[in-house]
Amino acid sequence: MSEVETQQIVLASRPEGRPTSANFRLEQGPIPAPSDGQVLLKILYLSLDPYMRGRMSDAKSYSAPVEIGQAMEGGTVAEVLESRHPGFKAGDIVLSHSGWRSHALAKGEGLRKLDPAAAPLTTALGVLGMPGFTAYSGLLTIGQPKPGETVVVAAASGPVGSAVGQIARIKGARAVGIAGGAEKCAYVRDVFGFDAVIDHKAPDFPAQLAAACPKGIDVYFENVGGKVWDAVFPLLNPFARIPVCGLIAQYNSSGDFEGPDRLPVLMRQILTKSLTIRGFIQREFVAEQRPAFEREMASWIATGAVKYKEDIVEGLANAPEAFIGLLDGANFGKLVVKL
């Protein structure tokens, strides 16, 4: 091997509110050697995703937090440099969960081989990976869009939101996207093919959303929260379905939320409108739905029914600032770090 050292970015401290570069630390060290049953990986691409903000906190959640001094976690595409596992050989390209590092040891059982000829490798972290599957499983299992219904999704220029809207249209529903800024809104409308797109930065955003949904909202795919939810909530139709996969507008908040307690109003509407609100983690559906997702999504991409956009950042050292920007909405498309 020509490489003589490895790099990793560890959690240096837990953020209070919005993360800063001081919460991360770049470390270097010798490249480890694999033991029996292990492979040594060279990371090619690292996925940056909003859920990572939750891992930086020690608040109780569905997964354990990253410990101080531990490498930040994340999905990766990697090349096998050395193998002591019978199922893998040097040169294999695999999907792994190796985190923010240039090299990693992994057990073969936790890896999935990728075919570089089948699709661009980065899609395994985006439209053909966890974000795409999040959109597919949450929308079809919980949202269950029907022909003629209105489906609304925020962060519509991102990897999850863009897939949600396009799948909704494939199922015969009307897709209304919410994005930030004229450039993103135009892309969602002209490239992703949404029926309508609203800029959440517009001063009259709630009124524009209401005008774009004259028959109300039947499915709202929630991945933002905040003022977007405030605008959506009054428009929900009876029996509306709300899959909840993220609340990025609230990830940097700490302490109690300002303003009056609106839980009684929410609960009353859940009752009187017979709303279905269900939070989910995509892994809940992997065993039953992953094969169908891979088959259908690959077909939709091949036919042009689903399109995707990626935002590639060069260099592991740039991952912290790129991630902080992700939480601020600075990325445009699926955010991936190329090592």
| Least confidently predicted of 50-54, 66-70, 187-191, 244-248 | 244-248
| Mean pLDDT over the full length of the chain | 92
- Model confidence, pTM: 0.89
Give how far Cα 141 sits from Cα of 51, 186, 244, 328, 329, Å.
21, 29, 12, 29, 27
Q: pLDDT-derived band of residue 3, with 50, 70 and 90 as boundaries?
A: low
Question: For 65-78, how does the pLDDT look when each residue is reduced to its tens digit (9 = 90+)?
Answer: 999 999 999 999 99
* Distance, CA of 18 to CA of 24 (rounded, Å): 13
**Amino acid 245: pLDDT:** 86
Name beta bridge partners: 176. 152, 196
Tokens of 152: 């609304």
The answer to whether residue 1 scores a pLDDT higher than 50 is no
Residue 305 has a pLDDT of 96
Across 314-327, average pLDDT = 95
Residue 59: what pLDDT?
Answer: 75
Taking the C-alpha atoms of residue 66 and residue 110, their distance in angstroms, rounded to an integer, is 19
| Residue-level pLDDT at 225 | 73
Termini Cα distance of the chain: 17
Element spanning 336, H or E: strand 334-338
Using CA atoms, how far apart are residues 163 and 133, in angstroms rounded to an integer? Answer: 9
Q: What is the rounded distance in angstroms from the CA atom of residue 276 to the CA atom of residue 242?
A: 6
Buried residues in 275-314 as b, exposed as e (16+ CB within 10 A) = bebeeeebeebeeebeeebeebbbebbeeeebebbbbebe
Whole-number pLDDT of residue 248: 59
Q: Indicate whether 120 pLDDT > 70.
A: yes
Instruction: Note whether 338 and 44 are within 8 A (CB).
Output: yes
pLDDT at 137: 96
Angle between helices 286-303 and 130-137 (to 10 degrees): 100
SS3 31: coil
Question: CA–CA separation, 133 vs 139, rounded Å?
Answer: 10
Domains and CATH numbers, the chain: 6-126+310-338 (3.90.180.10), 130-283 (3.40.50.720)
Given CA atoms 321, 326, 329, 333 in this order, what sign does their dihedral have?
Answer: positive
Tell me: the pLDDT tens digits for 159-202?
Answer: 999 999 999 999 999 999 999 999 999 999 999 999 999 999 99
Least confident of 115-129, 144-158, 231-245, 253-267: 253-267
Which of 237, 190, 186 has the alpha carbon at shortest distance from 213?
237
Per DSSP, the three-state class of 109 is helix
Question: What is the pLDDT, as a whole number, of residue 54?
Answer: 84
How many of the other CB atoms lie within 10 Å of CB of 129? 21
Dihedral sign for Cα 327, 329, 335, 337, please: negative
272 contact partners, CB below 8 Å, separation of at least 6: none
The pLDDT value recorded for residue 257 is 57
Question: Which of the four pLDDT bands, split at 50, 70 and 90, describes residue 266?
Answer: confident
